[in-house]
C-alpha cells in the first residue's frame, strides 16, 4: 500500500465530514487507506460516518486521548509506505497530496514533509520554526516579549530572517504535525512514535528533533497547500493565562518536559 492517512478527531463532527470529503477526491487513483481515531466518540455519529465513508477505518475511544496518543494509535494501524497525519480541522487542497508524495519519493533523504498552511481567509499560518530555547518561551509568554532582544529572538524562531518559499522546499528545524505532515513509514523503525509523555504541545518539536538526530531531513514544501480551520486555537496568551487557561497550562507543562528530556543533548544535524 502506498499511503495511509491518519486523522485525529475530537468532537468536531462537521469539520471531520468536510475533511473526509476533501480527502476522498485527493485519493482517487492512489492505493491508500484512511484511519480516523475518534476521541470521546458518539455511537450515533460513528454509525452514520461508517455508512457515508465506507472506505475509512474508524478507531473509536470513549476517552479523550489528546493528540499524541490519538496519532500513535493511527500510526500503529498504518500499512502504507508513506503516512499523512492531519487533524480533523485540516482540508487538503487540490493536487497538494500528489505533489507531496512525488516530492518525497524523489528525495529519499527527507523523512518529514510539510505543506504551506493557510487560514480559511487565505492568510498564511506560521507552521515552521527553529527549535525552542528557554528564552524563546519567556519571550512568548511574558512582558519581556516587547523588548528588542526578545523581538529579535522571536523573529529568528519564526524564520523571518529566511525565505522559506522555495520551489525545491526548505529545510526547517520543526513543523506543526497536526496541521499536516507526510512521512516515510520506514523512518519510524529508527525514530519511534510520538513521545506520549507529551500531551500535545512540544510533541512535534521533539519528534522533528529525533528525525534530524537520525539523519532524516525535515522539509517545508510550499507548493502544497492545506487549509487549517482551527489554527488559532492554541496556548497563546501572557503569563496570566497560565492561571486561567487550561491549554496554556498544558503548553507550559509540555515545555518543561521537553527541556528536561533534551537538557544534556546537542543537535549535530539540524536546519540552518
pLDDT band at 269; cut points 50, 70, 90: low
pLDDT in tens, 81-132: 999 999 999 999 999 999 999 999 999 999 999 999 999 999 999 999 999 9
Quick check: 158 and 174 in contact, CB under 8 A? no
Q: Does residue 79 have a pLDDT over 80? A: yes
**pLDDT score, position 187:** 97
Residue span of the structural domain in which 113 resides: 3-261
pLDDT band at 222; cut points 50, 70, 90: very high
**pLDDT score, position 266:** 63
Quick check: 18 and 91 in contact, CB under 8 A? yes
Quick check: 85 and 23 in contact, CB under 8 A? no
pLDDT in tens, 237-262: 554 454 456 666 777 788 889 999 99
Angle at 108 between CA 182 and CA 194, to 5 degrees: 40
Which pTM was predicted?
Answer: 0.90
Cell numbers for 58, please give them: 474508524
Q: Is 190 within the bounds of a domain?
A: yes
**pLDDT score, position 140:** 80
Given 3-state DSSP classes, what are the helix, strand and coil percentages for the chain, each rounded to the nearest 5? Answer: 40, 25, 35
**pLDDT score, position 143:** 82
Q: Is 268 within the bounds of a domain?
A: no
For 52-175, list the strands marked E by DSSP. 56-61, 82-87, 90-92, 110-118, 128-129, 170-171, 174-175
Q: Is 148 within the bounds of a domain?
A: yes
Q: Residue written as cell 474508524?
A: 58
Quick check: 239 and 142 in contact, CB under 8 A? yes
Cell numbers for 160, please give them: 523571518
Quick check: 264 and 124 in contact, CB under 8 A? no
Alpha carbon dihedral 221, 225, 228, 231, in 10-degree steps, equals 40
Per mean pLDDT, which range of 8-12, 70-74, 108-112, 142-146 is the poorest? Answer: 142-146
**pLDDT score, position 245:** 61
Q: Does residue 232 have a pLDDT over 50? A: no
**pLDDT score, position 90:** 96
Q: Is 84 within the bounds of a domain?
A: yes
Q: Is 181 within the bounds of a domain?
A: yes
The helix or strand, by DSSP H or E, that contains position 3, with its residue range, turns out to be strand 3-10
Q: Is 120 within the bounds of a domain?
A: yes
DSSP three-state, residue 110: strand
**pLDDT score, position 233:** 46
Quick check: 264 and 211 in contact, CB under 8 A? no
* Domains: count for the chain: 1
CATH number at residue 184: 3.90.550.10
pLDDT band at 201; cut points 50, 70, 90: confident
pLDDT in tens, 15-73: 999 999 999 999 999 999 999 999 999 999 999 999 999 999 999 999 999 999 999 99
Q: Is 267 within the bounds of a domain?
A: no
Cell numbers for 70, please give them: 490519538
Q: Is 61 within the bounds of a domain?
A: yes
Cell numbers for 162, please give them: 529566511
Amino acid at each position: 500500500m502506498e499511503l495511509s492517512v491518519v486523522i485525529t478527531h475530537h468532537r468536531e463532527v462537521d469539520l471531520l465530514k468536510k475533511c473526509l470529503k476533501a480527502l476522498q477526491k485527493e485519493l482517487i487513483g492512489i492505493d491508500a487507506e484512511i484511519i480516523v481515531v475518534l476521541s470521546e466518540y458518539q455511537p450515533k455519529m460513528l454509525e452514520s460516518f461508517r455508512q457515508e465513508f465506507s472506505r475509512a477505518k474508524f478507531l473509536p475511544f470513549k476517552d479523550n486521548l489528546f493528540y499524541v496518543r490519538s496519532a500513535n494509535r493511527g500510526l500503529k494501524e498504518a500499512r502504507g509506505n508513506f503516512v499523512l497525519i492531519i487533524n480533523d480541522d485540516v482540508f487538503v487542497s487540490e493536487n497538494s497530496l500528489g505533489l507531496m508524495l512525488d516530492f518525497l519519493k524523489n528525495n529519499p533523504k527527507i523523512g518529514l514533509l510539510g505543506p504551506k498552511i493557510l487560514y480559511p481567509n487565505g492568510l498564511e499560518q506560521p507552521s515552521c520554526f527553529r527549535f525552542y530555547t528557554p528564552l524563546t518561551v519567556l519571550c512568548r509568554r511574558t512582558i519581556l516579549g516587547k523588548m528588542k532582544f526578545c523581538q529579535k529572538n522571536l523573529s529568528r524562531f519564526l524564520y523571518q530572517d529566511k525565505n522559506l518559499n522555495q520551489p525545491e522546499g526548505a529545510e526547517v528545524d520543526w513543523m506543526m504535525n497536526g496541521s499536516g505532515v507526510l512521512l516515510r513509514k520506514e523512518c519510524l523503525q529508527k525514530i519511534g512514535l510520538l513521545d506520549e509523555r507529551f500531551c500535545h504541545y512540544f510533541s512535534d518539536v521533539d519528534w522533528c528533533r529525533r528525525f534530524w538526530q537520525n539523519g532524516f531531513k525535515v522539509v517545508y514544501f510550499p507548493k502544497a497547500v492545506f487549509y487549517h480551520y482551527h489554527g488559532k486555537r492554541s496556548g497563546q496568551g501572557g503569563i496570566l493565562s497560565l492561571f486561567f487557561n487550561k491549554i496554556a497550562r498544558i503548553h507550559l507543562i509540555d515545555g518543561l518536559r521537553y527541556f528536561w528530556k533534551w537538557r544534556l543533548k546537542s543537535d549535530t544535524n539540524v536546519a540552518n
